[in-house]
Structure 1
C-alpha cells in the first residue's frame, strides 16, 4: 500500500471519521497509526472485535471509560517529575478506577464479547493508589485528615484567624475609631487582615498601610494589635503549603512507581477505545461484517460507497473466480471511476476492521497490495503531461505488483494518440495479468474493449445509461459493453443540435464533406452619422418631448446636444428632441443683444449701475451682503 492509494480511494477520510469517535489521545493516536492488514487472521480478528463491540453498543451497554480526556498530559507530567495538583490526581484516580470497572464490565458481558473480555485479563488493578487518592482529596482539595501534621497546622490557622477577627471586630466597635472607618468590615489584602480607613485619617491610626483604593479615598490598614498575629498566620500558611506539597508529592510518587504497569493499562484501554470507535462508526453506517478470503475473490452484493451512504447506487460485481480481469466501459460522469474507488475503499476498510454497507453474501479479498492510478496525474513540478504522469505511475506499480495484488487503472492509455494509447494499454494489462494480479480498468477505447471480449480471463462491464432520457444510471452491468456517450455529453453541454446530428451520421457513414467552400469577405462600410440641423443662439425651437417652445441658449461643440432656455431654466437636450420654429435672424434686428433674452431686466440694470459706480447700487449691495452674513451667524 502507499499514500497515493489511500488518498485516491478516500481511505484517509474513513480514518478521519474514526478519529472523531475515539475518546482518548491514545485511542486517536492508534487510529492514526492503523494500517490495513494483509494477514487474513488479523483482519478476521479485527472484524470480530468490531462486531463484539457493536453488539455491546446495540444492547445499550457502554464501556465505563473514565479519566481519558487528559490522561496523556498527566502521564507526561508524572514522567517528567512534576507534582500533580489535587484535581489532576483525582482525574488520574478516575482512570485507574476505569481500568478496574472495564475489567469487571467485560467479564460480566463475556457471553456477548468473548474476545474483548479476554483482553481485559491483562488489565492490572491499582485499588490501593485509587483509594488513597480518593481518601486524601475531596472536592479537589487535600483533606485535613490527610496527615496529623496538616490537621494540627489547619487547627492552628483556624484559631489564629479567629483571634485576628476578634481583635479587628473590637477595633471596629471602638467609638474613637468609628468616624475614621470608611466601612465597618474586615478586608483581606495581600494575605493580611485589614480594615478600610478614610484616607484623611490614615496618620491617626496605629498600624501598617497594606493597600490603597483605586481612587485613593480609602486605605487598608493593619492595626498594630493584629500585626504579629498576621505574621503568625502567614507562617502557618507556609507550613500548610509545605505539608500539602509533601502529601501531593507522595500521591504522585505512588503513580510514578507503578508507571510501567499503568502504561500497559493505557495500551489496553487505548485498544478498547479504537475498537469501540470502529464499532460506533459501523453502527452509524448500519454496516455488516463481510466474509473475507485470501484467494483474490471479490463478490460485492449491493455494496455502497461508505462516504456516499444512501445516495450511492449499490454495486454488484464478481471477480477472481472465473475471471481475473475486468474492463469497464461507459460514458464520462457515468460512474466508472466511482466503481474503482468503491472496490478499493471497501477492501481497505475491511482490512482495518470497519464494517461495510452491503448485503449478506459479500466476500472481500484480502490483497497483499492495492495500487491505483486514478485521476489527472499531471505534474507541473516534474514537467509531466497527463499521459506522462500516468505512465510514470503505472511504471512504479508494475515494478511492485505481484500475484496477490489488486490493480485499479482509470482511463488506461488515454492522453495520447488513440491507436498508440490503446496498444500500450493492452500490453500493460497483459503484463499485470501475467504477474497474477487482479486488474480492473476503465476505458473509452474500442480496441481495449475488443481485447477484453476476446481474452478468456477478462470480463467486460458497462455503466447503465438511460438512452431515452439521456441520463446515466451509475449502475454496473457485467458482461456488456457500454458506449462512451459522447453525443449525450455534447447535448448536455448545449452543443448545436445540427452538429451533434451530423456527428451521429458520421459514426455510421464516413462520407465526410471535404469540398472546398467559397468564402467572400464582406466589405464593411462605416455607418453614416445622422446629421442634425445647425442651431444658433436665440433660435426659437419646439421641444418635442414636452411640446413647448424654447430658445437656444448655447450649442456644444463636437456634440449633438444643445442647451435650451425655457421657463427661466437652462436644460441640456439632444438635437433630435428639437424642431426649429423660427431662426434668431428672422426674430431680432441686426446687432441685437441676445443676452437680454436670458437675463432679468432688474438684474441687468443692477449690473450696469454697479459698473458705472452708482453709490445707491453699491450701498444696496453692501446691505444685502450684511443681511447674508447675519443669517449665517444665526
Structure 2
C-alpha cells in the first residue's frame, strides 16, 4: 500500500514523522488534542457540509484585507485550548458590541507588502506611507479601547496589549506627508529652500515667455500665442519657415511639419536652472521618503506583530458581528464526545427555519433518522456536521444557550445531495467508496454523517450491508448520524444497545412535514400519502394501500400512533419550556429589582447614618459648650438655669433622633434600660396618676432619678442630684417609690454624715456616653465634697482617649477642684484620674 509521508510538528517544537494511508481525497492538517500531532480534516467533508459558504457569509463582516485573508485560512481545529480561547474571544467582542462601546476597526490597511519593501531596502511612496500611518493610528486607538477594562474582557485586553504604539513614526509621517499624498515643503529645510528657488525661477521663466509671446518682433513668427511643454522644457509653437529667425532650440515638431516647438534662446539658461532644481528636489524628496521608510524598517518586528494582531482582531470582530446577526450562542465544549444542540438552525437556510433539538453520545452513539423525503433528514445531518465544524473553527453557532458540541479529531460526511437523482450502480459505487473510507479510518474520536445508508441497490442487500456498517462503527465508539428509508433498520436500531431511532415529524392532516426531529420514535416514509398530496390518481393510491405488505401495515400504524403521542408530548414540553423561560425572565427581573432596592436601601441607610453622626457631633459640641457655661456660671444664677435648659434640649433632641433612626424593638430598649431594671424604676399603676411637685420620677431619655420641684404647663423642673434641669413633662415617669414632698431643710453636717456613710472614693465612667459621663461626674464631685472625701479616683479607661479628655476639660473649670493628675502605672496610670477637692466643713 502506498503511503504519504508527512513531517508533522509537535506543540513544543519537537517533530513527529508519521505515515498515513494513501487515499483519493485531499486533507487539511491541524494539531490534535488526542495525539499531540497534526490531525486530518477531510476536504470532501468541508465541501459537502458547505463550510466554505459559511466563510463566505463571514467575509461580509470583515473590515479589511487582513481579516479577509484570515477568513480564507479559517479551518476547523482540534486543540481544546485554542477552541476555548477563540470562542471566548468572540463572546468578549460581542459584549463590547452589545454594550454600544464598539471596536473601531476603521483605517486599517494591508501593509504587509509595504513592510516587505521596507525590509528589502526600497523606499515607500507618500501614499504608501499614509497607509502605514493610518494603520498604526488604528492600532493605537484599538489598544486604548481593548485595554480599558481588562477584567471584563481579559482575552481582548491581552490581544490589545500586543498592539504596538508607534506615535513617533505616525507624527513624523504626518509632519512630512500631506493628506493628498505629497511631501510638504516643511519636511526639511533643504526642500523648503529648493522649492522656494524653484518657484522664483519658474515665475521669471513665465514672465520672460509671456513677454516674447506679446512682443511685436515675434508676432508673425509664432504659430499660436501659447506656452507648451516638450521633454520637460518650456516651448513656443513657431512657424516652420521662421525657425531660423526665431533664435532657440527645437525640441519637437508637428506631424504636418508646419510647426516646430522651440525653446527661446533667452530662456534656455532659466530652463537649465529649473531642471537642475527639479533634480535636486527629487533627490531631497527621495531622501526624506527613505528616511521615513528606515524608521519603519527599524520597527519592522513590532509592526509585523501588530499587523498580525490586527488581522486576528478583524477575524474575531467578523465572527462576533456574524453571531449577533444570526442570534448565535457560544457552545459548551464537551470532552466526552457528546453533542446536545438546543433549537439549532442551519445557518445557510433562509426564511422561516424550524429549529431542531439533537442529542448524540449520551446513552447512544448511533442515531438513525427515518421519515419522508423533503422532511428534513438531510438538513439535520448537515446541521449537526456544520455546527460541529463551526465550533471547531472558533465560531458561535445558531442555537440556544446550553448547547454542547464535542471536538472530534475526524469528521466524515457522505451526503446524498451530490449524488444523481436516479439511483444506479455507479451511484451506489460512489456511495460505497466514501463509506469504505469512513469505515477504514473511523475511531472513537470520529463523527460520521451518512445519508441514505445502503441506498442505491437491492433493498434486502442494502439493508443487510447498512446493519453491518452501523454495527462496526458502533463497536468502534464512533459517533454516527445516519438516515434511511429501510424499515428493517428501524427494528435493528431498536434492538441494539447504543443505537437510537429518530424521525422527522409528519402532519397527517396537512400531509406536510413539520421538520421537527423526534428522538426515540422511528418514522414512516409516508410515500403513499405524499404521492396522494402531489396529485396521484385516487385509484392508484387505493391499490397501493391494498398491495402494501400486510405484515408491515400494523407496524406502520403503530409507528404513526406513537408519532402522534410523541407530537402531543413535544407540544407539552414546548409549552413547559416557554413557561420556564418566562419564569426565569421574571426571576432575573425580580432579582435585579431586589438588588436595586437593596442598593437604594443601603444608600439611604448610609445617608441617614451620616446625618446621625453629624447631628450627634453638633449635639456634643453644643453640650460641651453648655457644660462649660454651666461650670463658669454661678450655680444658682440665671445663666446657670439657661445653660441647663439648653443642655437638656440639645441632649433630648439628639437622643430622640437616635431612637427614631435605630428603631429599638422593645419598650425596654426605648428606655435604654434592661427590662427588669426598667420594671423596678417605675410603676405602670402609679403612672396613671398625674405627676405633682415633690414626686420621685425617672427622667427619660437620661434614665436618671430625680425629684419634681416645679411644673409650668408642659414643662417640669427636676432636681437630679446636683443638677437642676427643665424637661418636657411627658418625658417623666413616676418612680416605684411612693410620692413625697420636697424634703425639709437639713443642716450641712447632717447631709455630710449621710453622704459619708455609703460613699465610695472611686467613680467608674467606662462604657458611658459623653453626656451621661459628665452628668454622673458632676453629681459625684458634689457628693464627694459634701461627704468630705478627698482625694477621689475617676476611672475612665484608656481607650481612644476621648472620655479622658472630656473629664480633664471638665475638671479644669470645675469649682472646688484643687488639682487632678494620673496616678502611677501600678495604680491605673492614664486610665485613672486622681482629683483633690476643697471639701465642705461640717
TM bucket (normalised to shorter chain) is 0.7 to 0.9
After the TM superposition, which of the residue ranges 113-122 and 195-204 deviates more from structure 2? Answer: 195-204
Contact 2:114/2:128 (<8 A) preserved:
yes
Q: Give the 3 Å change call, closer, same or farther, for CA 280–216 of structure 1 in structure 2.
A: farther
1:97 to 137, 150, 164: 137
Displacement, 1:3?
0.9
Within 1, Cα distance between the matches of 2:264 and 2:501?
100
CA distance in 2, matches of 1:397, 1:304: 26
Q: How does 1:119-134 map to 2 (within 5 A)?
A: 119-134=159-174
Task: Tell me if 1:75 matches 2:95.
Answer: no
Deviates more, 1:267-276 or 1:396-405: 396-405
The equivalent of 2:376 in structure 1 is 335
Matched with 1:36 is 76
Aligned to 2:273: 232
For 1:188, the equivalent position in structure 2 comes to 229
- Residue 97 (structure 2) pairs with residue 57 (structure 1): yes
More off after superposition, 16-25 vs 92-101:
16-25
Instruction: Give deviations 1:108-156, integer Å, cap 9, x for gaps.
Output: 2545432101112122322222222111112311122323332232222
8 Å CA contact retained: 2:109, 2:132: no
Q: How does 1:143-222 map to 2 (within 5 A)?
A: 143-198=184-239, 201-212=242-253, 219-222=260-263
Q: Per the alignment, do residues 127 and 376 of structure 1 end up closer, same or farther by CA in structure 2, a change over 3 Å counting?
A: closer
Aligned partner (choices 350, 355, 358) of residue 391 of structure 2: 350
Provide the rounded CA distance (Å) in 1 between the counterparts of 2:174 and 2:326.
41
In 2, Cα distance between equivalents of 1:146 and 1:463: 73
Aligned CA RMSD, in angstroms, stands at 2.5
| Aligned counterparts of 2:192 and 2:497: Cα–Cα separation in 1 | 90
Query: Residue 109 and residue 384 in structure 1: after superposition, are their counterparts in 2 closer, same or farther (change >3 A)?
Result: farther
Q: CA deviation at 1:280?
A: 1.6
Question: 1: distance between equivalents of 2:545 and 2:409?
Answer: 46
Aligned residues of 2:205 and 2:267 also touching (Cα < 8 A): yes
Q: State yes or no: 1:472 paired with 2:472.
A: no
Map Cα deviations across residues 589-625 of structure 1 (whole Å, 9 max, x no partner). xxxxxxxxxxxxxxxxxxxxxxxxxxxxxxxxxxxxx
Q: 2:413 aligns with which of 364, 372, 375?
A: 372
TM-score (norm 1): 0.75
Output one character per residue of 1:174-203: Cα deviation in whole Å (capped at 9) or x when no partner: 233334445544433332223344556444
Distance 1:463 1:20 in 2: 33
**Do the aligned partners of 1:327 and 1:460 also contact (CA within 8 Å) in 2?**
yes
Matches within 5 A, 1:349-498: 349-375=390-416, 385-491=426-532, 494-498=535-539
Asked if residue 135 in structure 1 is aligned to residue 172 in structure 2, the reply is: no
Retained in 2: the 8 A contact 1:377–1:387?
Answer: no
Q: 1:292 aligns with which of 320, 329, 333?
A: 333
Counterpart of 2:729? none
Taking the aligned partners of 1:270 and 1:249, their CA distance within structure 2 comes to 27
Query: What is aligned with 1:46?
Result: 86
Question: Structure 2 length normalisation: TM-score?
Answer: 0.57
What is the match of residue 3 of structure 1? Answer: 43
Distance 1:492 1:199 in 2: 93
C-alpha distance in 1, partners of 2:418/2:66? 36
Q: Report what 1:261 is aligned to.
A: 302
How far, CA to CA, are the matches of 1:358 and 1:376 in structure 2? 24
Q: How far apart are the structure 2 equivalents of 1:509 and 1:154?
A: 102
Deviation at 1:229, TM superposition (A): 1.1
> Contact between 1:369 and 1:404, CA under 8 Å: does it hold in 2?
yes
Q: Write the distance in 2 (CA, Å) between the matches of 1:63 and 1:202.
A: 69
Aligned length: 507
2:367 and 2:482 in contact (8 A); partners too? yes
- Mark the CA change 1:378 to 1:461 in structure 2 (over 3 Å): closer, same or farther: closer
Runs (5+) with no aligned partner, structure 1: 511-634
Q: Distance in 1 between matches of 2:482 and 2:351?
A: 26
Checking the alignment, whether the CA contact within 8 Å between 1:84 and 1:248 is kept in structure 2 is yes
Equivalents in 2 of 1:63, 1:277: separation in Å? Answer: 11
Q: Structure 1 residue 66: deviation in Å? A: 5.0
Q: What residue is the counterpart of 1:85 in the other structure?
A: 125
Q: What is the alpha-carbon distance in structure 2 between the residues aligned to residue 143 and residue 52 of structure 1?
A: 43
Give the C-alpha shift of residue 356 in structure 1: 1.9
CA distance in 2, matches of 1:342, 1:49: 24
Asked if the contact 1:378/1:388 (under 8 Å) is kept, the reply is no
- Residue pair 1:26, 1:72 contacting (<8 A) in 2 also: no
**Whose RCO is larger (CA < 8 A, sep 6+)?**
1
Alignment gaps of 5+ in structure 2: 1-40, 552-842
Q: Conserved in 2, the CA contact under 8 Å of 1:376 and 1:386?
A: no
Q: Is the 8 A contact 2:186 2:192 kept in 1?
A: yes
Mark the CA change 1:75 to 1:336 in structure 2 (over 3 Å): closer, same or farther.
Answer: same
Q: Distance in 2 between matches of 1:39 and 1:188?
A: 67
SS of the equivalent of 1:472 reads: strand
**Is the contact made by 1:378 and 1:387 (CA closer than 8 Å) also made in structure 2?**
no
CA–CA separation in structure 1 for the residues paired with 2:511 and 2:146? 57
- For 2:540, the equivalent position in structure 1 comes to 499
Query: After superposition, what is the alpha-carbon deviation per residue over 1:389-429, rounded to whole angstroms, capped at 9, x for unaligned?
Result: 22222222122222232221111111222222212211111
Match of 1:301 among 342, 347, 358: 342
CA distance in 2, matches of 1:254, 1:360: 50
Contact 2:109–2:131 (8 Å) recurs in 1: no
Secondary structure in 1 matching 2:514: strand
User: CA offsets per residue over residues 369-395 of structure 1, 9 Å max, x none?
Assistant: 22212116769xxx9722222222222
The match for 2:706 is none
**Counterpart contact for 1:367–1:406, Cα < 8 Å:** yes
User: Which segment is superposed worse, 251-260 or 272-281?
Assistant: 251-260
